[in-house]
Structure 1
Amino acid sequence: MKISKQTAPHYIWGSRCDGWHLVQQENLSIIHEHMPPGTQEVRHYHSRARQFFFVLTGVATMEVQGELITLYPHEGIEIPPRVSHQMINRSSEAVEFLVISQPTTRGDRVEFPGFNPKKF
């Protein structure tokens, strides 16, 4: 079945970020996400899920266990299970990216709400 941002189930996360579930299965999740400038997710890890983040447009910063990694369009990063990470948009432009998770991350997220990436 054909799917797009226009037909995929939409949700809002954080205060201003968007996600569209392109594939939503127990063994595989593919989400198209949009982050406005100056937004970030809560630092976290997944107990079981392995993830791959792939930037479509914009410039993103991924914090991985204290290391900041800049991702440009058409670049990605794999995050193994139990590795803390946080997607950040420090740029003045929106970032769009894909998040591919296997298995799904539903019920598999442990957050670190007090973490501040600005100290890096």
Structure 2
Amino acid sequence: MKIHKEQAEHYIWGDACDGWYLERDADRTIIQESMPPGTSEIKHLHQKAKQFFFILKGEAVMWIDGTTITLKPQEGCTIQPGVPHQIRNESTEAVEFLVISTPSTAEDRTAL
């Protein structure tokens, strides 16, 4: 079945960040997210879910268990279960990205 971001379930998270569920079930979620300049997610981890972040537009800074990497458009990274992480937008432009979680992160998040 075809999906368009404008038809997807929308939610707001963090500091006025947006998310759209492109696929959502117990086995996997695919979310497109947008972060305005200067926003970030809290440091956290997932006990079961492995996540893949893929940047569509802008530049994101990923903190992964004490190491920081910068992701530019068409770059991504995998976060294994149990690994602390945080995504930040330290730029002056919005960041748009996909995050794919296997299995779903529903009730699988521990804030640090």
Q: TM-score range by the shorter chain?
A: over 0.9
Larger strand proportion of the pair = 2
Name the residue aligned to 1:12. 12
Q: Find the aligned partners of 1:15 and 1:53 in 2 and give their Cα distance.
A: 19
Q: Find the aligned partners of 1:32 and 1:4 in 2 and give their Cα distance.
A: 11
The one-letter code matched in structure 2 to 1:5 is K
Q: Using structure 2 for the length normalisation, give the TM-score.
A: 0.99
Write out the 4+ residue segments of structure 1 that deviate beyond 3 Å after TM superposition.
Answer: none
Percent identity of paired positions between Structure 1 and Structure 2: 55
Report the secondary structure of 1:6's partner residue: helix
Correspondence 1:104 to 2:104: yes
Q: Find the aligned partners of 1:4 and 1:96 in 2 and give their Cα distance.
A: 15
Unaligned runs of 5+ in 1: 113-120
Contact 2:46 2:83 in 1 (8 A): yes
RMSD of aligned alpha carbons: 0.5
Q: Any residues of structure 2 matched to 1:59-78 within 5 Å, and which? A: 59-78=59-78
Unaligned runs of 5+ in 2: none
Report the secondary structure of 2:5's partner residue: coil
Q: Any residues of structure 2 matched to 1:105-120 within 5 Å, and which? A: 105-112=105-112
**Shift of the alpha carbon at 1:2?**
0.9
